[in-house]
Structure 1
């Protein structure tokens, strides 16, 4: 069976909004920012997301990010966010969700602290997912700092468990 890919990015590929596969019941993961992954060429994070989706009964997966700018290291992200990139990211996320009640994995780890604007990006995404009644989960227990685990550092044996994004943002 051939997978049908979802790949939404800017024309110059400097930002990626959505990467995943088409299905009825996707596991949707929200990381910090996209790195090098592309259709048929997953990086370590995307490979782990694919594994969590397959092991937890999802028929597909989607990778989203708090900020869509491509950077192999979050330290390479804009120092000040680009409001147009934020708006485009939220529009792509709203289109993907399309009113469906999906499972969203909080998967940014400590990296959310790498730029001061990232919590604001999460607020915008949370409002989009709240409008559809999406269920937020984390991989295993939260880190000691209270942040959800990054998938590349998670074990498949750890369960997906409820994550209260509103309390996290408060």
Structure 2
């Protein structure tokens, strides 16, 4: 695993847009919202993302989120969408994707239901990634409630194809 870090956040560190390591074969993980992790100080979720990357022959990993507000609990996120954060998040993601055909790991789990605006933020990210013909995968099959699995839950499972368009239609 490479240790060259990418770490993009706002000036007061209340929002994080990207965190990970740079490499050639990068696992791109999309969660709900960032917690307190930073380069060299990973939380449980990011240690598991790194583990998934290593187990699946990726030389690096990057964590993106549906909403960039830092909160240790998705229920602590803004009750209503802050449009400026959505726009900034999408700008950072678009600059990172930059027309590359990447594979993205859907990893938001059940917490996508904690805020009504998360569907809208996912739609924005999907527009960006669809423009680059990116592929989506998930950890194992969907949960019993039909959502992608969060990486910090349960045992390591294999990746499966994830139809993000069908998921959005059913959300």
Q: Say yes or no: does 1:80 pair with 2:80.
A: yes
Q: Say yes or no: does 1:110 pair with 2:132.
A: no
Name 1:159's counterpart in structure 2. 158
Name 1:132's counterpart in structure 2. 132
Work out the CA distance in 1 between the residues paired with 2:97 and 2:67: 17
SS in 1 for 2:67: coil
Task: Give the direction of change, closer, same or farther, for the CA distance of 1:108–1:11 in structure 2 (3 Å limit).
Answer: same
SS in 1 for 2:50: helix
Name 1:99's counterpart in structure 2. 99
Q: Give the total of aligned pairs.
A: 169
SS in 2 for 1:151: coil
Is the 8 Å Cα contact of residues 34 and 70 (structure 1) preserved in structure 2? yes
Moved over 2 A (4+): none
SS in 1 for 2:35: coil
Q: Say yes or no: does 1:70 pair with 2:48.
A: no
1:2 offset after TM fit, Å?
6.3
TM-score w.r.t. structure 2 length? 0.97
Is the 8 Å Cα contact of residues 25 and 102 (structure 1) preserved in structure 2? no
Work out the CA distance in 2 between the residues paired with 1:103 and 1:37: 23
Work out the CA distance in 1 between the residues paired with 2:89 and 2:155: 29
Work out the CA distance in 2 between the residues paired with 1:50 and 1:134: 20
Is the 8 Å Cα contact of residues 105 and 139 (structure 2) preserved in structure 1? yes
Is the 8 Å Cα contact of residues 8 and 19 (structure 1) preserved in structure 2? yes
1:154 offset after TM fit, Å?
3.7
1:24 offset after TM fit, Å?
1.3
TM-score w.r.t. structure 1 length? 0.97
